[in-house]
Amino acid sequence: MTSKIKQRGKDGRRWRRRKDKRPGEIRMAALECFGERGFAGTRLDDVAERAGVTKGTLYLYFQNKEDLFKAVVSEELVPNIVRIESLLSEKELPAPEALAQLMRFWVKTFTTTRLSILPKLVISEVGNFPELAEFYIHEVIDRGFALVGGILRRGIDEGDFREINVEETIISVIAPAIVTMLWKHSFEPHGSRKLDPVTLVETHIEIILRGLGRNPAAL
């Protein structure tokens, strides 16, 4: 009898640990479902089934599908932006090196993980769900733009970069990463051409840093 009670106690502890992980498991299940069916086509029943919980359990953590999407962005994507902000701030790298590290970080963190589906998801659903688009712009795009823009402006001030239109250059820096993620989830499954994110980013770093140099025509 005692052994059974102890076993139930152990099971209870395992179950409590499991409960702690449930929100994260539901978020990742939602990300997979969003990637397969789109936001509009995903039902909370689909997410619950993928996460191995009941729909009632899902509602204990998330009020609706919009709340779940925002949680995916806030808890799975935004912490990575915070991390690279902190890393670059702590290291105080020269602007060219900081920009290169940022671009490599994006490739490693976003284009090669399940998070890579988010840009395509937002772009494809933006017309029908403007509130989610506004949320994504505020939480992700504005923050990413500010990070790149800060590095570019510092590079100009410190003499590492020539005078440029910073706002337009931000787009030029970010665009290949976006294209890589869109390609991965749109064209790659249906064609023979596969993009190598690592090679692409290293090529882009060289092009960008040469273009930002004080005398790009001489390079």
* Interatomic CA distance for residues 114 and 111, integer angstroms: 8
Written as one string, the DSSP assignment of 36-87 is: HHHHHH--HHHHHHHHTS-HHHHHHH-SSHHHHHHHHIIIIIHHHHHHHHHH
| 213 shares a domain with 126 | yes
* Interatomic CA distance for residues 170 and 191, integer angstroms: 30
CB 170 within 8 A of CB 145: yes
**Which pTM was predicted?**
0.82
Radius of gyration of the chain (CA): 21
CB 118 within 8 A of CB 36: no
Q: At 165, is the pLDDT very low, low, confident or very high (cuts 50, 70, 90)? A: very high
pLDDT at 218: 42
pLDDT digits (tens, 9 = 90+) for 42-68: 999 999 999 999 999 999 999 999 999
pLDDT digits (tens, 9 = 90+) for 111-121: 878 888 888 88
* Interatomic CA distance for residues 190 and 120, integer angstroms: 16
Q: At 215, is the pLDDT very low, low, confident or very high (cuts 50, 70, 90)? A: low
| 99 shares a domain with 152 | yes
Q: Is 123 left (phi over 0), alpha (psi -120 to 50) or beta?
A: alpha
| 105 shares a domain with 22 | no
- In terms of residue numbers, what domain contains 40? 1-62
Q: How many domains does the chain have?
A: 2
CATH code of 15's domain: 1.10.10.60
Q: At 17, is the pLDDT very low, low, confident or very high (cuts 50, 70, 90)? A: very low
The pair of three-digit structure tokens given for residue 145, joined into one six-digit string: 């733009």
| 189 shares a domain with 169 | yes
| 38 shares a domain with 142 | no
pLDDT digits (tens, 9 = 90+) for 134-155: 999 999 999 999 999 999 999 9
pLDDT at 156: 96
| 41 shares a domain with 147 | no
**Average pLDDT of the chain to the nearest whole number:** 86
CB 190 within 8 A of CB 183: no
| 69 shares a domain with 45 | no
CATH code of 212's domain: 1.10.357.10
**Which of 38, 62, 86 delimits the end of a domain?**
62
